[in-house]
Amino acid sequence: MLCVMKDTWGSYSLVRTVRNKRHWQAPDRPMFVSAWNVSMRVKGRGQAMPSSGVAICADCLAVPLGENPAKVRAECACVRKASAWAVAEGKLRFKSVVRQEAAEMRKPKLRMKWGEVFTTYLENGPEDRRQRINKLRRVLEGPTGKRAEDLCIEDWTAAQVRLWAQMYQEYDRRGWTVPGAAPLDAWEQLRRVAGTLPPLDYVRMSPGNRTIQSVLGDLKSTLGNLSRGRYLLALEGRLPEIPWLSRMSLNVPAPDTRPGIEPAAYQAMWEAMPGLKETNLKAWLALRIYWVTGIRPVEQLRIREDWLEVDEEGRVLLVVRNRPALPMDQWPKLGDGSGRPDLAYEYLGKAFKLKAWRSAQVRALELPADVVAVIDQLKHPGWSIFGHQCVTHAIKLQRVVNQWIRQFVPEGAHASYLLRKNALTVRAAVEDVEAARVMAGHGDRKTTEGYYIDPKSTSRQLTDAELGPKAPARRLRMAVG
């Protein structure tokens, strides 16, 4: 707990910084940085935490972890000396901030029109530069009805982008996204009713929302830091900042229109799995778990042996739920005979929180016998089922798995998510959407139905007999379509 002291220039608090656990002498004996650090705010602005250079005395170091010695021992000489340094440093930083603000006030106000940005980007931009500029032009001209090249960048606001999104949702509701359906004066009609449009709809799932998300992503890319440093470098020092754009989010629900795994690619993957088992057993195990459980990649990184449970029928279940951090005395020990915990396992020992933490959807996912047999062969007892010793090993395995999938499905984002989507599509076909929702751990079925179930998929059951690419597709088409 911080003890905050205020002054005329702002506020500060003395911080006794805990060192990394690998430097601790024992799990119950934390180590601290030897000097007081200072956390300060100057004129409401947070400052990088500087070191005061004042050594923390032995008595303050002995104060138990969780208590603040600056508060418990406020009259200690080292606390008073560090406080005096913080006050002096704060005053210096206050003067510096005042000078910076005055210099900013004296700078001439920049006024740049979008036409100059368009010209520079079209000369130096990436291959799809014309499409990106056209998207930006749509967002600028839609709400205003004015030629984008004549508008000033400084006048562009987040409210205008949200208004464009509202107008596009209305455009979609009227059915104008169908090629040839929109009248010539479609946006003029929308501008006339702009003041009476309903607010952004965050409930109705619509393909038009996918366009809204895509356009906003392209705006951030076109005007972001990477683009400014590469494609818009000629405007450096003159192009105004647009700080609100990087923080803007329009999380309107949209169906997943990305393609799933094509039948030919699926056939090739299925036939390649036995060979992979011979050459890379860990990658085979990771793929099989994706294949039959639909687990998230971030969850697979954390699977420990205690996630596996056996039910009354003798089935091995992978149980995904919130889990607390494990005490350090339960971590694997170093092999040097010291009995100290092996800190390489810190990542696996941390608390685990489900992605859908509000609904805390617990899932019990059955594992087939061949998967259980390989887990018994690879696992580190009590820890990673893959035998990982640190998070780096887990991430490297995930990279290998994604590269293997990319041999068969070269395009699209999140390669391992294709197998998750595949497993959920199969579960919905074999049972129903609710069963797929439970398997996925989603809080509502709209997410499962809109983002994960691929109606174009071929038949892929969850048993080996029906997971095969030659399984009949008729049943799936009837269930999903």
What is the per-residue pLDDT across 75-115, written as a single tens digit (0 to 9) for each? Answer: 899 889 988 888 888 888 888 888 888 887 776 666 789 99
pLDDT of residue 470: 55
SS (H, E, C) the chain: CCCEEEECCEEEEEECCECCHHHCCECCECCECCEEEEEEEECCEECCCCEEEEECCHHHHCCCCCCCHHHHCCCCHHHHHHHHHHHHHHHHHHHHHHHHHHHHHHCCCCCCEHHHHHHHHHHHCCCCHHHHHHHHHHHHHHHHCCCHHHCEHHHCCHHHHHHHHHHHHHHHHCCCCCCCCCCCCHHHHHHHCHHHCCCCCCCCCCHHHHHHHHHHHHHHHHHCHHHHHHCCHHHCCCCCCCHHHHHCCCCCCCCCCCCCCCHHHHHHHHHHHHHHHHHCHHHHHHHHHHHHHCCCHHHHCCCEHHHEEECCCCCEEEEECCECCCCHHHCCECCCCCCCECHHHHHHHCCECCCCCCCCCCEEEECCHHHHHHHHHHCCCCCECCCCCCHHHHHHHHHHHHHHHHCCCCCCCCHHHHHHHHHHHHHHHHCCHHHHHHHHCCCCHHHHHHHHCCCCCCCCCCCHHHHCCCCCCHHHHHHHC
Q: Please identify every stretch of the chain with a pLDDT value under 50, giving residue numbers as ranges.
A: 1, 457-462, 466, 472-481
pLDDT of residue 454: 61
pLDDT of residue 476: 38
pLDDT of residue 108: 63
pLDDT of residue 379: 87
CATH 1.10.443 domain position(s) in the chain: 263-480
Domain formed by 263-480, architecture: Orthogonal Bundle (1.10)
